[in-house]
Amino acid sequence: MPTTLDPQLKRALADRIRYYNDLGIYDFYRREGSQSSVIFEDSEQVESEERESMAKAKSAAAVSPTEQIVSISPKPESGISDPVQALRMIREDIGDCTRCKLSKQGRKQIVFGVGNPNADLMFIGEAPGADEDIQGEPFVGRAGQLLTNMIKAMGVTREDVYIANIIKCRPPGNRQPERDECETCSPFLMRQIEVVKPKVIVALGAVAAKTLLAVSAPMSELRGRWFDFKGTKLAVTYHPAFLLRDPRQKKETWKDLQMVMKELGMALPSKSVE
């Protein structure tokens, strides 16, 4: 490996790094040798596609022993110990974002995230809806009311936890976020997670779970168990909007939340989600 780079290559690399930084990406992964045989070494024996993607999920969020995170240029918030200030810097870095097509599809404002910047518990939803787009805060509409009740049922308040979404702009007509939108926006969420450093993340619904875990599996296989998300425990439960459509699943959701409360050493109230 040469110790000095050709100036032209150096300039090209610097341009490329600046390009990624503009997209909010600062962590690069250095791979040594062939990592695929290490990360998915058991996958030959796995039969169904879904099982395979579950196996991937176990390791996708974790950095493999053959990978190293390389910080080439520091994130604007690195070295800032005050999480309020660090989150402000991430928000400033996002600016009046035009990185994806949603900026031209009627979104009113960016919905960054809300709550305790030192929260032990972080909820991650899918995307802002109409109410969130108007108010600039995640989960303030009908589904948000239900999430607020779920949080209260756990014996805490919205101000105790941190709430964010996979993407920060409302998709037109409340359609599901598209893959390119999730990929463009999620680096900023990753940085918010790094600042808040929750002990537990709860992914609300399949879009959040699948994006965070890079997995394609039904909710039945995602709920009721722990995942490792870059060293943080992650649980999956139903999205509150789904619970509004099928309130019978609230019982199941309560089981998920109790699993989370147990992990966080929270007292278990007898009340369930209403």
Among 60, 117, 121, 165, interactor with ligand URA by CB under 6 A: 165
Among 52, 120, 126, 133, interactor with ligand URA by CB under 6 A: 126
Q: How far is the CB of 208 from ligand URA (least distance, A)?
A: 7
Q: Does 237 bind ligand URA (CB under 6 A)?
A: no
- What is the size of the binding site for ligand URA (CB under 6 A)? 13
Q: Does 115 bind ligand URA (CB under 6 A)?
A: no
Q: Would you say 44 and 85 are in contact if contact means Cβ atoms under 8 Å apart?
A: no
Q: Does 128 bind ligand URA (CB under 6 A)?
A: yes
Q: Quick count: other Cβ atoms within 10 Å of Cβ 104?
A: 9
- x/- mask, ligand URA, residues 209-228, rule CB under 6 A, reads --------------------
> Which distant-in-sequence residues (6+ apart) come within 8 Å of 46 by Cβ?
52, 55
- x/- mask, ligand URA, residues 14-53, rule CB under 6 A, reads ----------------------------------------
Residue closest to ligand URA (Cβ): 125
Among 26, 139, 188, 254, interactor with ligand URA by CB under 6 A: 139
> Which distant-in-sequence residues (6+ apart) come within 8 Å of 221 by Cβ?
50, 54
Long-range contacts, stretch 81-88, CB < 8 angstroms, 24+ apart? 83/117, 83/118, 83/195, 83/196, 84/117, 86/117, 86/195, 87/112, 87/113, 87/117, 87/192, 87/195, 87/196
Q: CA-CA distance, 124 to 225, in Å (whole number)? A: 17
Q: Does 241 bind ligand URA (CB under 6 A)?
A: yes
Q: Does 132 bind ligand URA (CB under 6 A)?
A: yes
Nearest to 91 by CA among 102, 80, 105: 80
Q: How far is the CB of 111 from ligand URA (least distance, A)?
A: 6
Nearest to 119 by CA among 78, 170, 77, 154: 154
Question: Which residue lies nearer to ligand URA by CB, 135 or 216?
Answer: 135
Q: Does 144 bind ligand URA (CB under 6 A)?
A: yes
Among 129, 171, 187, 198, interactor with ligand URA by CB under 6 A: 129
CA distances from 172 to 50, 59, 250, 251 (A): 30, 33, 28, 32
Query: Which positions touch ligand URA (CB under 6 A)?
Result: 125-129, 132, 138-139, 141, 143-144, 165, 241
